[in-house]
Amino acid sequence: MVELEQIGYTSMQDVAYERIRAALARGTFRPGESLPTRTLAKALGVSTTPVREALTRLVAQNVLCVDPVNGTPFVPSITPELIAEIYELRAVLEGLAAEHAALNITKEELAQLEKIWARLKAAKTADYQQQQLISEEFQDCVYRAARRPVLLDLIRSVWLRSGVVLHLLAESCPKGFSVEGHRDKLFKALKRGDSAQAGATTRAAVLATRDMLLRIMQKS
């Protein structure tokens, strides 16, 4: 009998983990919000066991906290210190990825990035969540082009933690704030293969967002 490679099986725990992780990264849950196992299991249409295991995994990754009284996982609260640390890490990691991307990006990837960039500019009138999804697609395309898998994993891990900030950004972002100019410069730097400019522009965009969020927190 011909030997065939077995089809991989994705466990329900992995599915639950990815769904909850994606929701956290999008800022679906509010800072401080409890995440009861039964409630999430019902929303996902699965039993409580894979959800409980997925939540335990997210707690172990320090993405979620645990209520010491009832043991229920919850989304961490936002503090100025958390915002500063997350966005400073993002500036370092994403700036480095952009530098490598400028040196390694292919013509095909540039063409794909140009299409995403066009969609992002056309989405100005779309709701915040839709704009955020396209923005993340743009950034992910850039960072994958860096050809640095460990660096990409680190960036995605920090993105997961920065999801708790997205509600603040969506609800309180000052009118007129945008990093579109930075992204335009980044795209041009990638096309030129200008590593220094790609890194500097990426860091500037991340830090501009950090400063805006800290100003919001000072006012609240």
Per domain, the residue ranges of the chain are: 12-74, 80-219
- For residue 166, the model assigns a pLDDT of 75
Long-range contacts of 114-122 (CB under 8 A, 24+ apart): 114/187, 116/141, 117/183, 117/187, 120/180, 120/183, 121/180
Answer with the residue of higher pLDDT: 54 or 169. Answer: 54
**What's the rounded Cα separation, in Å, for the pair 205 and 210?**
9
Provide the mean pLDDT of the chain.
Answer: 89
Give the architecture (CATH level 2) of 12-74. Orthogonal Bundle (1.10)
Share of the chain above pLDDT 70, in %: 94
Domains 12-74 and 80-219 fall in the same CATH topology? no
What tens digit of pLDDT does each residue of 108-139 get? Answer: 999 999 999 999 888 877 777 788 889 889 99
Share of the chain above pLDDT 90, in %: 61
3-state secondary structure of 212: helix
**What's the rounded Cα separation, in Å, for the pair 195 and 39?**
47
What tens digit of pLDDT does each residue of 1-13 get? Answer: 455 444 344 688 8
Confidence of residue 62 (pLDDT cuts 50, 70, 90): confident
Give the architecture (CATH level 2) of 80-219. Up-down Bundle (1.20)
- For residue 176, the model assigns a pLDDT of 80
Contact 97, 155 (CB under 8 A): yes
203 pLDDT above the threshold of 90: yes
pTM of the predicted structure, to 2 decimals: 0.84
Answer with the residue of higher pLDDT: 1 or 151. Answer: 151
